[in-house]
Amino acid sequence: MRHRVFISGGEQKLEVIRWSDGRLAQAIRETPERRSQIGAVYLGRVERIDPSLNAAFVEIGLSRPGLLPLKKQGQHPTEGAAVPVQVRRDEHDGKAVRLSATIHTETAYEDHLAQAKAQGRIPACLVPPPTAWQSCLAALDPAAIEEVACDRRVDVGAVQRWCAIHATELSERVRHLPVREWQPERAEIEEEIAAALEETVTLPCGGNLLIEPVRTLTAIDVNSAATRKPGMELTALTVNLDAAREVPRQLALRNLGGIVVVDFIDLENRNKREQVLERLREAAAIDPAIEWIGNMSRLGLVEILRRRRGATLAEMWAGEKEERDGER
């Protein structure tokens, strides 16, 4: 798996495009209003403790207090206490951000912590969350990244300084490249994004995927009811193999997290089911956020667990979809 990463924009709108093995794998748009908080470290204040949840609600300066589970904590905090916490999960579907008192960061924050306590600045952000491009690069094997192209010259130095600490060998592959010179071109990237905002994905063999995110999970239905490509036999195995190759890419591109259930076309032959499962696990290399892939049931169902991080593609690029829908 080979990757090329493109970075454009600045503080008000940052876009990160990952092109993997010749296809779009990620398209992240980050604005101050819609930025993942995962990894940020705060000095918060315990607002209340809920014994029924065995959790504390901690005010950290966001729209609502974060949830701090107490089960794995040592000494439980008291209401009103100041506690350093780190964001582990973003706010999603009405649920507050998930916090942890165990902090993992390479950025020194102890001096900021002491200063905030001394000045009574609670809540206070001690370590800001990583930017979209930092999260993207950190999730990939540096050896597999062919280049990092920055639309703005000022970003080249920032990316190289980050690489000097986290991925030394990658520094030499960071360069300035204006958007007009990107390959693939911006228009091709936008076409791929537009396709990923639709519910249905057409497979190379002529079958399709129907992708339906709901509140509790994401359901993906594999269908063969499509036009057969000339010279290709549209068997259940052919469609399933194409689907297995495409599903991880769609999950990464659409940034769909949590539980995913893929309903493949039924295969009575166990060896054929294993072929599909093997193809799916191989294709998962495109998506570092996939944490687990289960076995295939007799009915063709496969469960996937994908780490949730930040907004979905539909949320990040909502304006483009609304504009296209208005033109129809």
Statement to judge: residues 123 and 216 lie in one domain: no
* Residue 322 belongs to a domain: no
Q: Residue range 160-178: average pLDDT?
A: 95
Statement to judge: residues 207 and 310 lie in one domain: yes
What is the per-residue pLDDT across 226-244, written as a single tens digit (0 to 9) for each? Answer: 555 555 556 899 999 999 9
Place of tokens 């504390």: 56
Q: How confident is the model at residue 145 (pLDDT cuts 50, 70, 90)?
A: very high
Which H helix or E strand runs over 155? helix 153-166
What is the per-residue pLDDT across 122-137, written as a single tens digit (0 to 9) for each? Answer: 999 999 999 999 999 9
Please determine, for residue 174, whether its predicted confidence score (pLDDT) is greater than 60.
yes
What is the per-residue pLDDT across 20-42, written as a single tens digit (0 to 9) for each? Answer: 999 999 999 998 888 899 999 99
Please determine, for residue 205, whether its predicted confidence score (pLDDT) is greater than 70.
yes
Q: Which of 71-75, 217-221, 246-250, 265-269 has the lowest mean pLDDT?
A: 71-75
Q: What percent of the chain has pLDDT over 90?
A: 78
Average pLDDT along the chain: 91
pLDDT at 231: 53
249 burial type by CB count under 10 A (0-12 exposed, 13-18 middle, 19+ buried): buried
Statement to judge: residues 15 and 144 lie in one domain: yes
The CATH number of the domain holding residue 61 is: 2.40.50.140
Whether cis (ω within 30° of 0) applies to the bond prior to 213 is: no
Statement to judge: residues 81 and 218 lie in one domain: no
Statement to judge: residues 94 and 116 lie in one domain: yes
Statement to judge: residues 235 and 302 lie in one domain: yes
Statement to judge: residues 137 and 7 lie in one domain: yes
Place of tokens 């639709």: 198
* Residue 269 belongs to a domain: yes
Statement to judge: residues 145 and 104 lie in one domain: no
* Residue 24 belongs to a domain: yes
pLDDT at 7: 97
* Residue 326 belongs to a domain: no
Please determine, for residue 182, whether its predicted confidence score (pLDDT) is greater than 60.
yes
Number of Cβ within 10 Å of residue 15's Cβ equals: 19
pLDDT at 241: 96
Q: Residue range 63-75: average pLDDT?
A: 84
Q: How confident is the model at residue 319 (pLDDT cuts 50, 70, 90)?
A: low
Q: Which of 45-59, 65-79, 156-170, 233-247 has the lowest mean pLDDT?
A: 65-79
CA distance 293 to 277: 9
What is the per-residue pLDDT across 268-295, written as a single tens digit (0 to 9) for each? Answer: 889 999 999 999 999 999 999 999 999 9
pLDDT at 310: 83
Q: What pTM was estimated for this model as a whole?
A: 0.87
Is 94 or 68 the better-scoring residue by pLDDT? 68
End-to-end Cα, the chain, rounded Å: 37
Please determine, for residue 75, whether its predicted confidence score (pLDDT) is greater than 80.
no
Statement to judge: residues 23 and 80 lie in one domain: no
Q: Residue range 103-110: average pLDDT?
A: 89
The CATH number of the domain holding residue 157 is: 3.30.420.40
Please determine, for residue 224, whether its predicted confidence score (pLDDT) is greater than 70.
yes
Statement to judge: residues 224 and 85 lie in one domain: no
pLDDT at 41: 97
For 260, the domain range is 198-315
Pair 150, 159: CB distance under 8 Å = yes
Phi, psi of 265, rounded to the nearest 5 degrees: -65, 135
Statement to judge: residues 309 and 173 lie in one domain: no
State both tokens at 104.
């993992």
| 262: region left, alpha or beta (phi > 0 left; psi from -120 to 50 alpha) | beta
Residues facing residue 191 across a β-bridge: none
